[in-house]
Amino acid sequence: MTTFKDSQIARVLGEKSFNRISSAKILIVGAGGIGCELLKNVVLTGFKNVHIIDLDTIDLSNLNRQFLFQARHIKRSKSEVAKETASKFNPDVDIVAHHDNIKAPQYDIRWFSQFDIVLGALDNLDARRHVNKMCLASNTPLIESGTTGYSGNVQVIIKDKFECYDCQVKPTPKTFPVCTIRSTPSAPIHTIVWSKSYLLPQVFGQAEEDDSELDKAADEGENADEINTLKEEQHAFKKVRQAVRTEGGAKVLFDKIFNSDVKRLLEMEDMWKNRQKPRPLEFDDCVNSSDFTTEGGTTDSAIVDQRKMTLGDNVKLFIDATERLSARARETDDPIEFDKDDRDTLDFVSAASNLRSIVYSIVPKTVFEVKEMAGNIIPAIATTNAIIAGVQLLKAVNVLNDEMDLCKPAVYLGSQLIAAPFEPPNPFCTACRDTYISLPVDESKLTLGEFITTLRMLFKVYEDDRELSIFEKERLLYDPDFEDNINKPLKDLGCQSNTFITVVDEDGEFDNVAVVLTPLPEDASESCILPSQDSFKQPGKRVKKPEPVEPEPEPVSRKRAREEEYTETADGVVCIDDSEDEAPPAKANNATITLDDSDDEVEVVPPSKKTRLD
Ligand SMILES: Nc1ncnc2c1ncn2[C@@H]1O[C@H](COP(=O)(O)OP(=O)(O)OP(=O)(O)O)[C@@H](O)[C@H]1O
Ligand SMILES: [Zn+2]
């Protein structure tokens, strides 16, 4: 049925373009800042068949920019409410909402294949990379987007035509030397990272079952003294974990982290020769101090969160937040993770980081500032989201109209919208250089050997007994010297529907093939159905990587000078004298703490779990 609105849209866009839009089926991944804008654009442009997916529920902090949501929708599913509100803009549109994770197995290649275009409106690297891969595998054009503050970008991704999301290496996350975080903080971010990524997981996160990880690291030749220190620490925290879950547990935790641990560090006199010494806190003195800010009559968290907090305020908040988390931990064994919108974890991280700051003579932060820093948040700007979602819609129309010359990546820099030059796919990209093929199989019947025979039938270049190796992610299933699994059905090897199996040419002459297993039709009698030859491509010739250029040898004097920047401490940890944010990772213990820009994750990598850097 053509409505009045439709005929107006058709006049603006042209009949041909309008017909393409109204018959297209599109998917929006994410119903947050960009997703809400996109859904509004899509329903007002004449799209008739839209799916939207988001795993989250609506939070108060979303309302300033995710305008499809109102206060009465808080705690309801984002995708459901987005559908409800946007449907009212244009009742002719059929919107299907999924309150789910896009990585769930039911959203497989076949599911992705039903869409003419996928529009990405996500906020994290992991989900973006997954959608990129699914779109490459299903040959579905993806229009990817992102914003930070006043900047944003839109990228059209079509396999073998344009760069994919993974073609360009993303900036390396910011890292902090472990010793700066653990022993010698000098800036608020150091105590915040400690509180969020070390203390909270130690006390309320996943419990370390035993010492097996550390024993393994010791067997692998990691520094034995260091492993012992880590073990002792782990055992001490085990006791505190238990105490915190009982009455008065906050005091036990406080005494350990702000008193006895600090006193122990003070014994390492060398450490404090050129640094200000930390000052241990006494629980009773702090609790009995009259150093509290009076409430001032308001309980509005937006106002309270922006208040400067005294020592007394922080101690009070620390005890209160620990008790709240402790009550939660007693109810369920599920690990508690930091979430800036979870009041209890935010209060705990704020109070603990501020108390640590006080110990180290660092200026404490307000809860609001801690939220920004711990969440690694650059404020989202509604207008940037609107501009980016607008560009994304235009690119979707370009793709549907096959106007590839208009599909250049768009970069928005606060005041200018720039069309960046086209870049061809990176010949060494691990995501888009693969040849993707979907293979319907009964994984409980098809053996690995039969699977390999099938590959040799499908791919001409494999016919002449070319040597192959077969992987599921990094797990080797087969190579010419490892034939143990050859008679096992794929299911016994952990491969099922939606598993990606990578086939590598041992001679490196051809690109990899990524085989995606899909379910067989119900009535199929065989254990595998061969796709028709024109439904997939043969792997291309691999582009040879240029030989790495040997770096110029470093002049000895400079190298030595750099080594002198590292000083050994009593517990064997090597510290960098300059503990600025930008300091390089600690050299000898090889442990870094990573602040990942893409999401609010901060990764702490213990030395035992990380491969050597040097
Ligand atoms: N794997 C995933 N599957 C489905 N939806 C996802 C997935 N990962 C992230 N999202 C959704 O993508 C959306 C991104 O939107 P946005 O960047 O505005 O984030 P937000 O969480 O709403 O805002 P903020 O992080 O600033 O509070 C969020 O609604 C989030 O729930
Ligand atoms: Zn790529």
* Statement: residue 366 has pLDDT above 60: yes
Give domain status of residue 269, yes or no: yes
- 583-614 pLDDT per residue, tens: 322 222 333 343 443 343 333 333 332 222 22
Write b or e for each residue in 437-450: b if 16 or more Cβ atoms lie within 10 A of its Cβ, otherwise e: bbbbbbbeebbbeb
- State the Cα–Cα distance between residues 58 and 543, nearest whole angstrom: 47
Total domains in the fold of the chain: 3
DSSP letter string, 27-40: EEE--SHHHHHHHH
- State the Cα–Cα distance between residues 80 and 52, nearest whole angstrom: 9
pTM of full prediction above 0.90:
no
- The reply to whether 449 sits in an annotated binding site is no
Catalytic entry in 36, 135, 179, 575: 179
Phi, psi of 29, rounded to the nearest 5 degrees: -105, 110
For 386, the enclosing helix (H) or strand (E) is helix 382-400
The verdict on 229 and 288 lying in the same domain is yes
The verdict on 220 and 307 lying in the same domain is yes
Q: Please give the DSSP secondary-structure letter assigned to residue 71.
A: G
- 536-550 pLDDT per residue, tens: 888 988 887 777 666
Tell me the CA distances in angstroms from 467 to 12, 456, 463, one per residue in order. 57, 11, 10
- State the Cα–Cα distance between residues 430 and 241, nearest whole angstrom: 42
Amino acid at the residue 483: E
- State the Cα–Cα distance between residues 394 and 390, nearest whole angstrom: 6
Could you tell me the CATH number of the domain that includes residue 114?
3.40.50.720
The verdict on 232 and 370 lying in the same domain is yes
502 beta partners: 471, 514
The verdict on 395 and 304 lying in the same domain is no
The verdict on 136 and 223 lying in the same domain is no
Tell me the CA distances in angstroms from 599 to 128, 412, 464, 602, one per residue in order. 11, 20, 47, 9
Ligand 1 shell residues, CB under 6 Å: 30-33, 35, 53-56, 61-62, 78, 101-103, 122-124, 127, 380
- State the Cα–Cα distance between residues 433 and 426, nearest whole angstrom: 8
Residue-number span of the structural domain to which 27 is assigned? 4-149+380-402
Active site residue 575: no
Give domain status of residue 143, yes or no: yes
- The reply to whether 78 sits in an annotated binding site is yes
31's tokens: 């119903």
- The reply to whether 142 sits in an annotated binding site is no
The verdict on 367 and 396 lying in the same domain is no
Q: Could you tell which of 29, 54, 69 is best to mutate to test the pocket of ligand 1, judged by most ligand atoms within 8 Å of the CB?
A: 54
166 CA to centre of ligand 2 in angstroms: 5
Give domain status of residue 286, yes or no: yes
The verdict on 214 and 256 lying in the same domain is yes
135's tokens: 């779109």
Q: What is the number of the ligand 1 atom nearest to the C-alpha of 340?
A: 27
Q: Out of 305-319, 418-432, 495-509, 552-566, pick the least confident.
A: 552-566
Give domain status of residue 526, yes or no: no
Give domain status of residue 562, yes or no: no
The residue whose CA has the least distance to atom 2 of ligand 1 is 101
Give domain status of residue 75, yes or no: yes
**What pLDDT was estimated at residue 384?**
95
603 beta partners: 594
Please name which of 163, 158, 136, 166 lies closest in space to residue 425, comparing C-alpha atoms. Answer: 163
- State the Cα–Cα distance between residues 541 and 545, nearest whole angstrom: 12
- The reply to whether 33 sits in an annotated binding site is yes
The verdict on 300 and 339 lying in the same domain is yes
The verdict on 394 and 471 lying in the same domain is no
Give domain status of residue 162, yes or no: no
The verdict on 234 and 354 lying in the same domain is yes
Q: Could you tell which of 73, 74, 123, 600 is best to mutate to test the pocket of ligand 1, judged by most ligand atoms within 8 Å of the CB?
A: 123
Give domain status of residue 26, yes or no: yes
Q: Please give the DSSP secondary-structure letter assigned to residue 187.
A: S
Q: pLDDT tier at 336 (50, 70, 90 boundaries)?
A: very high
Q: pLDDT tier at 35 (50, 70, 90 boundaries)?
A: very high
- Ligand at minimal distance from the CA of 145 is 1
The verdict on 359 and 386 lying in the same domain is no
The verdict on 326 and 237 lying in the same domain is yes
Could you tell me the CATH number of the domain that includes residue 273?
1.10.10.520
25 CA to centre of ligand 2 in angstroms: 25
Write b or e for each residue in 492-501: b if 16 or more Cβ atoms lie within 10 A of its Cβ, otherwise e: ebebebbbbb
